[in-house]
Structure 1
Amino acid sequence: MTAPPYVFYDERRYLMGLDGLRALSVLLVIVGHFGFDRMVPGGLGVTTFFFISGFLITTLLRSEQAAAGQVQLGNFYIRRFLRLAPELYAFLLITILAGRFYGMDSPLPQIAAGFAFFTNYLNIAQAPLAIAPHWPQLWSLAVEEHFYLTFPLLLVFCRNQPNRLLALLGLVCVAVPAWRILAYVSGAPDLYADQASECRIDSMAWGCLMSIVFERFGHRLKTAPRAAAFGLVLSGVLMLATLVYRDPAYRETIRFSLQGIALALGFWGLFFCPLGQTLRRLMEFAPVRWMGRRSYAAYLWNTELHHVFAHLNGGPASELPLAQRAVVALLAIPATFALSEASHRLFLQPLGGLRRRFELKA
């Protein structure tokens, strides 16, 4: 007899610790943008966001599939739009107008790309032309949106066939780095491997894969806490190695894959060993959880703050002495989250009731 799916979330489908991981990820991005990009792996923050998105969306949709017998695609797409679009579109409209006062033009192609979620491909196309993007950070939102559009279709295709889903996700995790290697040896621009959806979707696929693994094999994983603890330690060692080694060919080909493996090992440890569970409880500290829940808006606004600072300072934060950079970064964090809180209250919260109409059906 097949064992019932392992449930690793609470009755509200809440996953303890994920908000804390989001908070840590966006802090990496903010500090990296404010002059510490050579010391702080802001890109790792984005990769972690991708992994969390894959893990969370798979968990939520699979739970809906189990409860309702199907994935309600229309409701899912509406929920995603109501979660992402209000704050993004408000951000774009405000910064289109305000940018004129601090030297940031907003060309029509960049505006269209921001609203339609294809900034990643516009960044790639404009990189050889040395056109400075107003909103370079929106590339990752485009990748996530392309994932949200396609992955639920894969779930529908693999309905009641988790082994097929596992196999297809595994294939994605192998095929995407192979494609990056082919792109690199073919002379594709570096930005292509960094930002094209077809080159980054494996970061989400690793998260999807681990969600299915937990669901299918969680009962067994729960009985081996020492192995999970080893996975947690190995995750840290492997992640550190991916950051220390800086060969360009490696960075544009297999780095993201190794980081995906490291995150998968880390999640194994976080969910199935005592130390990991303690770390997840620490990440539930109220201020950290609040930062995680505001991380989307913080990701939007932090780059705009850097544009303002560069205009007032006459140059980016990276040109400042180390001590001054540290002060600027420390001030940027509360400023970013103040803007994110305002964004949440003004543009997201008023639509909460509408969004709840399309919530997952239990």
Structure 2
Amino acid sequence: MSSAVTDAQPRRTAIFDGIRGVAIVLVVLSHGWALWPMDGLISHAVTGALFQSGNYAVSVFFVVGAFVATRGLLRAVDSPGGLRPGVALARRYLRLSGQLYFLLLTVLALSVFDLTDKTPDRVTRSSLLHIATYTWNWYLQGHSASARSDLGHLWYLSVDLQVFVLILSLVYLLRRHRGWLVVALAGVLLAVVVWRTNVAGTELLYQSLLRTTVRMDAPIAGALAAAALPYLTGLVPWARRIAAVSLFALVPLLHLNVDNNAYFGWTGLLLDLALVGFLVGCSLTSPPPFVTRTLGSRVPAYLGRESLAIYLWHYPVFFFIAHHTTDWRWQARTIAAFLLVALMVTISNVLVERRVRAALAAPVWRELSGGLPAYLRERRRSRSMRVSTAETRSSETPSRRFTRS
């Protein structure tokens, strides 16, 4: 790998974080209807796009997340230990579940101690169970009236993990045939495009928005881009232009994808294409300087790094504040909600996220990457060495131990 590409890696990571940072802002704004009046905002072309772009933002998360995750899987395939599906799935599960389960425990505690929470206990238990098992989007399709409305946004994590399992399976099965992996992902994407068009035209919008097979076009597009990247080196001379044009195209696509019917049509697919073009362009060469100065700057990059925690907490906090401040003005309610979100994100980061990152960086994952038999052999060898050392020390006379010390 050239030094230029190596030096560009931190900037590229910051840029990918930055575009997710913009996406989380759009998600928060699209859920602001729980706090502030929306009539005047949605009637204007600019603010209407900013405050109604939840689907747009979710596509950003899906494409970028799947692109980064698939590149990680392909690097694991090329590593000495190879790709271990169980290890990869466990890491993904841990990455998503740490802060998610902390949120669920908090909601469970509030349902017990908050006497103003009128949600039946059975509804809370059923909702938390399906969220924890990543089947929430399936459950909501048939039980929307008997589910906790303040946790509806968590359907995204269910779809994310479900599609990751599919991508992981394809990468593992076709790990020795990269060309066929590209063909397989392209075939899945084509089938999804045809299917989502059919479902969007025949089913209720609510059902369509929650179907895994309808929402998986974006993550499959991201995975396809990652798998096809080695075959796109001929685009290197135009990579910066591709990244710049794709980034500029995301601006009008923000407005064009406000309407749900448009999102499920060609404009939604153009959004996937623009995101793929941006990621591929930035990955083939060092990102354009203006992109680094904007998306790679401190604020959007920070928001992107904390986007999971912000996504998890903002919606239930908005509902909680709106429920307990019915007599407040919307300005005060909004300030209180944003402060509480910031507080919960900080607490979650300190108590959970740091430990999750430390756990994911632990040496045990490198040992497991060699396979379970190798891991067990290493554990037995380490245990034998500890026992041998302990026996050696216990057999020494006190005078010898004193001399050694």
TM-score under structure 1 length normalisation: 0.83
* Cα offset, 1:15, TM superposition: 2.7
The match for 1:51 among 48, 51, 63 is 63
Does residue 110 (structure 1) correspond to residue 127 (structure 2)? The answer is yes
CA distance in 1, matches of 2:69, 2:98: 20
In the TM superposition, what whole-angstrom CA distance separates every residue of 1:251-284 from its partner, at most 9, and x where no partner exists?
A: 4455532321121123244446887443135333
The two structures, once aligned, show a CA RMSD in angstroms of 3.3
In the TM superposition, what whole-angstrom CA distance separates every residue of 1:195-230 from its partner, at most 9, and x where no partner exists?
A: 21111111101111222233322x322212464256
The match for 1:235 among 222, 246, 249 is 249
Aligned match of 1:62: 74
In the TM superposition, what whole-angstrom CA distance separates every residue of 1:138-193 from its partner, at most 9, and x where no partner exists?
A: 100000110222211100111132221111211222211211222234x3221222
The answer as to whether partners of 2:295 and 2:301 remain within 8 angstroms in 1 is yes
Residues 62 and 273 (structure 1 numbering): CA distance in 2 closer, same or farther, change over 3 Å? closer
**Equivalences for residues 145-294 of structure 1 within 5 A:** 145-185=161-201, 187-217=202-232, 219-225=233-239, 227-228=241-242, 231-232=245-246, 235-236=249-250, 239-240=253-254, 242-243=256-257, 246=259, 249-271=261-283, 276-294=288-306
Does residue 120 (structure 1) correspond to residue 137 (structure 2)? The answer is yes
Residues 11 and 34 (structure 1 numbering): CA distance in 2 closer, same or farther, change over 3 Å? closer
The answer as to whether partners of 1:169 and 1:209 remain within 8 angstroms in 2 is yes
TM-score under structure 2 length normalisation: 0.75
Q: Which is further off, 73-82 or 95-104?
A: 95-104
Aligned match of 1:303: 315
Residues 273 and 215 (structure 1 numbering): CA distance in 2 closer, same or farther, change over 3 Å? closer
The answer as to whether partners of 1:231 and 1:268 remain within 8 angstroms in 2 is no
The answer as to whether partners of 1:176 and 1:201 remain within 8 angstroms in 2 is yes
CA distance in 1, matches of 2:355, 2:254: 42
Question: Alignment partner of 1:137: what SS?
Answer: helix
* Cα offset, 1:43, TM superposition: 2.0
Does residue 314 (structure 1) correspond to residue 326 (structure 2)? The answer is yes
Aligned match of 2:401: none
Paired amino acid for 1:112:
L
Residues 275 and 61 (structure 1 numbering): CA distance in 2 closer, same or farther, change over 3 Å? closer
Residues 347 and 132 (structure 1 numbering): CA distance in 2 closer, same or farther, change over 3 Å? closer
* Cα offset, 1:8, TM superposition: 7.6
* Cα offset, 1:330, TM superposition: 6.0
Kindly, what percent of the aligned residue pairs are identical?
19
* Cα offset, 1:337, TM superposition: 3.1
CA distance in 1, matches of 2:95, 2:80: 22
Q: Which is further off, 202-211 or 189-198?
A: 189-198
The match for 1:95 among 87, 92, 107 is 107
The answer as to whether partners of 1:238 and 1:262 remain within 8 angstroms in 2 is no
Higher helix share: 2
The answer as to whether partners of 2:243 and 2:277 remain within 8 angstroms in 1 is no
Q: Size of the alignment, in residue pairs?
A: 347
Paired amino acid for 2:205:
D
CA distance in 2, matches of 1:243, 1:11: 31
Aligned match of 2:93: 81
Does residue 344 (structure 1) correspond to residue 349 (structure 2)? The answer is yes
Residues 227 and 252 (structure 1 numbering): CA distance in 2 closer, same or farther, change over 3 Å? closer
Could you tell me which runs of 5 or more consecutive residues in structure 1 were left unpaired when the two chains were aligned: none
Paired amino acid for 2:353:
L
CA distance in 1, matches of 2:9, 2:80: 15
Choose 1 or 2 for highest CA Rg: 2
The answer as to whether partners of 2:12 and 2:286 remain within 8 angstroms in 1 is no
Residues 20 and 330 (structure 1 numbering): CA distance in 2 closer, same or farther, change over 3 Å? farther
